[in-house]
Structure 1
Amino acid sequence: MDVPVSWNYNVSHHGTVVVIVAHPHALVGVDIMQVSERPNAKTTSIGGFFRAFESYFNANEWDCIRCSSDANEQYERFYRLWSLKEAYIKAVGIGLGFSLLRAEFFFDERDAQWHLRLDGEIARAWRFDSTFVDATHIVSVAYGPLDAMWKPETSSIFPASLNVAKAGTQPNHNDEGTSAAAWVKRDLADLIAHTP
């Protein structure tokens, strides 16, 4: 049986590098990080920098980040884990409204692969690649099943309906007597194209 082609693509950039990834039958997400980027050392120590991100990584991920005493290795591990999380949320189409603590990444030495534990369960249908594309940039790619795409009707992140301006309507007048766009209520599901 032929699976219909449903090209998914994703783009990311950091520094001077732009990456694009595409797949005909899977969700894809990509993120690139410049691992040489550092906070201003005069105002932020490595510990202070990491504290700003405490709520985005769980204990095992922090252990992975901090297992080296070398600051450069810690930054590299931080940026790699961050890019894996970004690639995943971009693949499912949910954005940063998603609690990143739900997605725990770990490297399995047995198969030399990165894996995702989502809400405590290993997400076996997902594949992740993370590698250097040059001396200072790590790129991470997430591949997953089409049915894992974020759906507004099953999410509590956004309201089920939004107020949107309806083009071509007569303008309303606000309290100051100037015209304002006419607003109508639309279901979020009606604004997003559905994939079968």
Structure 2
Amino acid sequence: WEPERLRNVSFNVSHHGDWVVFVGNTSPESSVQLGIDTMDFQEQVSGELFEAFSTCYRDQFTENEIAFMKDAPLDLEAPSSTNNSMRRFYRMWCLKEAMVKSLGIGIDFNLKSFEFVIQDTEEGTEPILTTTLRILEPSSMHLKDGWCFEEALLDNDHCYAIAARVETEDNDSVMDGTEIMQFDWQRLLRDAVPYPPQFT
């Protein structure tokens, strides 16, 4: 049995490093595909160069995506020891993970069947909403038009990305970057109640 008010509820969770991130939609009028991911820039193997690291992932990224990572400027003052190409790698991987999670499929999905076109090349704490998706294999049953993305830094060492698609005719964006909230554990559990026995 599914209560009517929960029929179109969708949510997704991710954690990495110091952060747990959650995205959800409770609108009864629309069904939304949602995926979220977060990455810790400090997970890089100590002393490993981007070229050696990225070789392992060539089957997961398109040539344009690899070029975006390689073309990271060298003169920026990165807020951590992770170089800028690695930061762009984590940003791109975060988007890929959010996408496949929103589709509800495993990471063995062909990640080169689509690519991300990033307009705002440098992330900050203000949400970026300009990243778009280019579908390279239109025949894929999983990929349709109408996706929107949000990404930003959580702090100097962590980024997040959200992928969303609304099941409506006009495919309006469901994100405008204004509803990001940060909770500590006390705030998160303040209104918590035991799960009703009838739903167990």
TM-score (norm 2): 0.64
Match of 2:133 in 1: 116
Match of 1:49 in 2: 53
Find the aligned partners of 2:152 and 2:104 in 1 and give their Cα distance.
22
The 1:84–1:36 alpha-carbon spacing in structure 2 relative to 1, beyond 3 Å, is same
The answer to whether residue 102 in structure 2 is matched with residue 96 in structure 1 is: no
Match of 2:19 in 1: 17
CA contact (8 A) 1:106 1:114 kept: yes
**Letter in structure 2 aligned against 1:79:** Y
Q: Give the total of aligned pairs.
A: 142
Match of 1:81 in 2: 92
Find the aligned partners of 1:16 and 1:113 in 2 and give their Cα distance.
27
**Letter in structure 2 aligned against 1:74:** S
Greater relative CO (CA pairs within 8 A, separation 6+):
2
Find the aligned partners of 1:5 and 1:115 in 2 and give their Cα distance.
29
Residue by residue over 1:149-193, the C-alpha shift from the partner in whole angstroms, topping out at 9 and shown as x without a partner, is xxxxxxxxxxxxxxxxxxxxxxxxxxxxxxxxxxxxxxxxxxxxx
Match of 1:28 in 2: 34
CA contact (8 A) 1:91 1:143 kept: yes
TM-score (norm 1): 0.65
The 1:22–1:118 alpha-carbon spacing in structure 2 relative to 1, beyond 3 Å, is same
Find the aligned partners of 1:112 and 1:83 in 2 and give their Cα distance.
15
Find the aligned partners of 1:12 and 1:6 in 2 and give their Cα distance.
20
Task: Please identify runs of 4+ aligned residues in structure 1 that moved more than 3 A.
Answer: 120-124
Residue by residue over 1:88-120, the C-alpha shift from the partner in whole angstroms, topping out at 9 and shown as x without a partner, is 1000101212011112001136x9611111225
The answer to whether residue 160 in structure 2 is matched with residue 139 in structure 1 is: yes
The answer to whether residue 60 in structure 2 is matched with residue 65 in structure 1 is: no
Find the aligned partners of 1:97 and 1:62 in 2 and give their Cα distance.
19
Residue by residue over 1:28-63, the C-alpha shift from the partner in whole angstroms, topping out at 9 and shown as x without a partner, is 00000012321232xx43211110111111110011
**Letter in structure 1 aligned against 2:136:** D
Secondary structure, counterpart of 2:20 in structure 1: strand
Between 7-16 and 123-132, report the one with greater CA deviation: 123-132
Shift of 1:73: 1.1
5 Å-filtered alignment, 1:142-161, equals 142-146=163-167
The 1:120–1:99 alpha-carbon spacing in structure 2 relative to 1, beyond 3 Å, is closer
**Letter in structure 1 aligned against 2:38:** I
Shift of 1:140: 0.1
CA contact (8 A) 1:115 1:123 kept: no
